[in-house]
Amino acid sequence: MGVSEHPLQISPQAGVAGSGRVQAWTDSIFERFSDYGGQLVARTVFSKRWTVFLFLLVVLWIVPRAEAGTITGEVRILVESHASHAPRSPFARRRPVEESSQTQMPSEEMQKVIVFLADDSSLNPAQPLPEKPIVNQKDLEIQPGFLLVPVGTTVRFPNSDDVYHNLFSVSSAKRFDLGRYGQGKEKEVIFDKPGEVRIFCDIHPHMNAIIFVVPNEYYTVLGDDGSFSLDNVPAGEYELHVWHESLGEQTKRVNVPDSGVSTVDFVFARN
Ligand SMILES: [Cu+2]
């Protein structure tokens, strides 16, 4: 066992015999690097194959989804103008509602008009919100007073007031009674059924809120101008709902083409 046999300690005394060993050693090193390079190449080729494979997977996944359309429309809310309530001549022609002024609901109210597709087996089910929304009991109010959640979402109900509250609901979509609890405590409710849930406080009758639970991922709220758009709806026939806490609910059948847009408009007459 000579020192020169150690690849990292090449003795100058190794001579000619030693140089052969050095050659063998460098060859082996080269081979090792070549191997390593080969592995790198193999890995690169392999990862390219994976990229192509993944790309094909994505394409295959997108293609069926490309057979999806968009539902757009407008929700108009008609009300009698204030002028129509003013005293008028008995000979004046009575104007139909359509001719009277049309309200532009305040934007915060527009955001409470929900447009959604009814539960349907061909639609993707709702994904519950990953972060539990908070509905606070603060300043003797339920805050926020309106919340929209996909079915299955858990909502936290903390009490931030220094008085007891007792939130409850008798709505068919979710019946619950949180019981009395004080400041710093909280309870949770899972909203596992679609529909409107009206919430009240057993101790303070003026406290109220609404949580609206949608059945699938196809929902939106009205824009400030009353328009809406539901994108990537799989082709098919569905029931489109428009709901507002005081305007009520309207339903229309809608046929979504393989691609393109279906337009559905709604008119609510508010008295
Ligand atoms: Cu209360």
Question: What's the gap in Å between 156 CA and the centre of ligand 1?
Answer: 16
pLDDT, residue 167, reads 98
Burial of 257 (0-12, 13-18, 19+ CB in 10 A): middle
Each residue of 18-64: pLDDT tens digit? 344 445 544 444 444 445 444 544 455 556 676 766 666 655 555 54
Token pair of 263, please? 């337009």
Its pTM stands at: 0.69
Question: What's the gap in Å between 179 CA and the centre of ligand 1?
Answer: 11
d(CA 109, CA 187): 28
d(CA 170, CA 208): 12
Question: What's the gap in Å between 151 CA and the centre of ligand 1?
Answer: 26
User: Do the beta carbons of residue 252 and residue 263 sit within 8 Å?
Assistant: no
Token pair of 94, please? 């009575």
**Residue 195 pLDDT greater than 70, yes or no:** yes
**Residue 168 pLDDT greater than 50, yes or no:** yes
Helix (H/G/I), strand (E/B), else coil: 106: coil
Helix (H/G/I), strand (E/B), else coil: 66: helix
Question: What's the gap in Å between 167 CA and the centre of ligand 1?
Answer: 7
Question: What's the gap in Å between 138 CA and the centre of ligand 1?
Answer: 9
d(CA 38, CA 42): 6
Question: What's the gap in Å between 124 CA and the centre of ligand 1?
Answer: 37
Return the percentage of the chain with pLDDT > 70, whole number. Answer: 66
Amino acid at 97: V
Question: What's the gap in Å between 108 CA and the centre of ligand 1?
Answer: 24
Sign of the torsion formed by the C-alpha atoms of 86, 92, 96 and 100: negative
Question: What's the gap in Å between 200 CA and the centre of ligand 1?
Answer: 8
Which residue is associated with the tokens 């909280």? 186
Burial of 114 (0-12, 13-18, 19+ CB in 10 A): buried
Question: What's the gap in Å between 26 CA and the centre of ligand 1?
Answer: 84
Question: What's the gap in Å between 182 CA and the centre of ligand 1?
Answer: 10
All domains in the chain, ordered by first residue: 3-65 (no CATH), 70-270 (2.60.40.420)
Q: For residue 203, what are the contacts with CB-CB under 8 A and spacing of at least 6?
A: 163, 164, 165, 166, 180
Each residue of 196-223: pLDDT tens digit? 999 999 999 999 999 999 999 999 999 9
pLDDT, residue 105, reads 75
